[in-house]
Structure 1
Amino acid sequence: MSRTSRPGRPSPRAGDPCPCGLPAAYGECCGRFHAGRAAPTAEALMRSRFAAFAVEDEAYLLRTWHPTTRPARVEFERGMRWTALEIEDVSEGSPLHTNGTVSFRARYTYRGKPGELRERSRFTRHEGAWVYLDAADTT
């Protein structure tokens, strides 16, 4: 797997529950995308990116970020734990589209205190694969 993380952070196992919230094992869900398979839809990419934040897979996050908006590195906050993802709305982003948006609510704990991030993310195809472009709205 192509993950870069802080020392001591355990890698997920294929049979572990997937962090994205779908009722599937990590290896059959987002783990297959982290291992190199392309996400077929913008929603699948959104879910796999959430899971990548949860397991701190920097390489995957950078690989699935559009080159015009991609940062040089992804910094993972000490004490941050992503705990749940809720997809609120999807517009376009199917295998037949070239662009799409996914609105979501991501829950986390930061140093033991709960919080949430709401975002409407924009996705586009780059060299045939879905990539994250940017956040249209956040709260």
Structure 2
Amino acid sequence: MKPPRADQACPCGLPARYEACCGRFIDHWPAQPAPDPERLMRSRYTAFARGQADYLRATWHPDHRPAAIDFEPQARWLGLEVRRARLIDATHGEVEFVARYRVAGCAVRLHELSRFVLQDGHWLYTDGDLQN
């Protein structure tokens, strides 16, 4: 999978170029972490779309981090919709999102309520529940 150029629109759906949007978190981790759970979710979607496993592993809480991240090489990421994002307290947050992609001509829709924790100044993905 060839990632998009840095000067292209950010895959997360916000109206900005990659380097001014999610790229500032992905390319400068850990010096510039995502400031809240929603921005972390958006940057993780972008990392999936661009095949950036190192960032995904770095932003996954160590208690829940998989040993490896396997990308579907034929996946074409189509879009991200953040349905809601909320802080539960100063160190916990949730983001409900729908991510769409296509594999071998088949549309896939991933709807998840994700949980995040703030640890040592960095928001980390812990886990999530699939939604209908």
Same fold (TM over 0.5): yes
* CA positional deviation for 1:121: 0.2
Distance 1:50 1:116 in 2: 13
Distance 1:55 1:42 in 2: 20
| 2:27 equivalent to 1:35 | yes
Distance 1:135 1:75 in 2: 18
* CA positional deviation for 1:113: 1.7
Number of aligned residue pairs: give it.
129
Distance 1:39 1:19 in 2: 16
| 2:16 equivalent to 1:24 | yes
Instruction: Give 2:81's match in structure 1, choosing from 70, 73, 86.
Output: 86
* CA positional deviation for 1:114: 1.4
Distance 2:103 2:129 in 1: 24
Partner of 1:123: 116
Partner deviation per Cα, 1:23-58 (whole Å, 9 max, x = no partner): 000000011111122000100000000000000000
RMSD: 1.4
* CA positional deviation for 1:97: 2.2
Matched position secondary structure for 1:132: strand
Distance 1:53 1:137 in 2: 17
Distance 1:97 1:115 in 2: 34
Partner of 1:51: 46
Partner of 2:93: 100
What is the identity percentage for the equivalent residue pairs of Structure 1 and Structure 2?
46
Retained in 1: the 8 A contact 2:110–2:130?
A: no
| 2:32 equivalent to 1:64 | no
Where does the alignment leave 5 or more consecutive residues of structure 2 unmatched? none
Distance 1:72 1:113 in 2: 27
Matched position secondary structure for 1:73: coil
* CA positional deviation for 1:107: 0.6
